[in-house]
Amino acid sequence: MDFDAWRRSLEGKNDLLDREFTRGLIIIYVVGAAGRLAPAARAAMDALTPWTLLLGAAMTLLAVVRPRNYRLLVWALTTATVAFLLEAIGVRTGFPFGAYAYGTVLGFHILDVPPVIGLNWTLVVLGAAYAARTATDSKIGRVLLVGALAATFDFVMEPAAVALDFWTWAAVVPPAQNYVAWFAIAAVAAVPLEYGEIEIPSPLPMRLALLQVGYFAILDAALYFGAL
């Protein structure tokens, strides 16, 4: 058997899947942003939100674990579980993020937290980690950059997410400790990725994170101009 030819064939199929998944995600987020800006469609967008997040997560995780990347799958499941538990602690105690509560838009709750939140944490960290690997060869530099990118992601997300009732804060604006927590949790989650040298074989997590940043930036602008 010609293993080099088989490997090249598999890589070609993976590239094709990445492209098709990327097109699908672009359609999802463009339609989602347009729907949020159309008052008549907002109720439908609310109902679809948890399902689109789950679909994006499934597509992205398939892209990164399909080459039998079991170490990354274990990392993803562990990160999602830990992130969910931290959120459950957070809504009950105010630590580590601050005092907040989830609304109904992100779907059903377990321990007062939508389970999809743990998945989205995982994908944000993966996307930031992929981007960090294109920026520096330093492992500690990558870990710190992942934390910074994740905190920046949350900073962009917060205004529109609150306006859409994803969650609400007890304070008028998110406290500074929220962004510190995002930085610290994402950086810690990146440590096993970098020092365990776990492969991220697809750029799809980074593309998904960029689409989400663009989506929330559009809605932030709409909120600022009174269109949301």
**pLDDT, tens digit (0-9, with 9 covering 90-100), for 77-118:** 999 999 999 999 999 999 999 999 999 999 999 999 999 999
Do residues 190 and 129 lie in contact, with contact meaning Cβ atoms separated by under 8 Å?
yes
Q: In one letter, which amino acid is 125?
A: V
Q: So what's the pLDDT on residue 1?
A: 40
Do residues 56 and 123 lie in contact, with contact meaning Cβ atoms separated by under 8 Å?
yes
Task: Note the Cα 149 to chain centre separation in Å.
Answer: 11
Ordered by start, the domain boundaries in the chain are: 3-224
Q: So what's the pLDDT on residue 174?
A: 95
Q: Is the dihedral of CA 73, 155, 206, 51 positive or negative?
A: positive
Name, in order, each residue with C-beta under 8 angstroms of 55's C-beta and a sequence gap of 6 or more.
28
The helix (run of H) or strand (run of E) holding residue 100 is: strand 100-102
Do residues 201 and 161 lie in contact, with contact meaning Cβ atoms separated by under 8 Å?
no
Q: So what's the pLDDT on residue 68?
A: 77
CA–CA separation, 54 and 167 (whole Å) = 18
Q: In one letter, which amino acid is 18?
A: D
Q: pLDDT tens track of the chain, all 228 residues?
A: 443 443 444 455 667 788 899 999 999 999 999 999 999 999 999 999 999 999 999 999 988 887 678 899 999 999 999 999 999 999 999 999 999 999 999 999 999 999 999 999 999 999 999 999 999 999 999 999 999 999 999 999 999 999 999 999 999 899 999 999 999 999 999 999 999 999 999 999 999 999 999 999 999 999 999 988
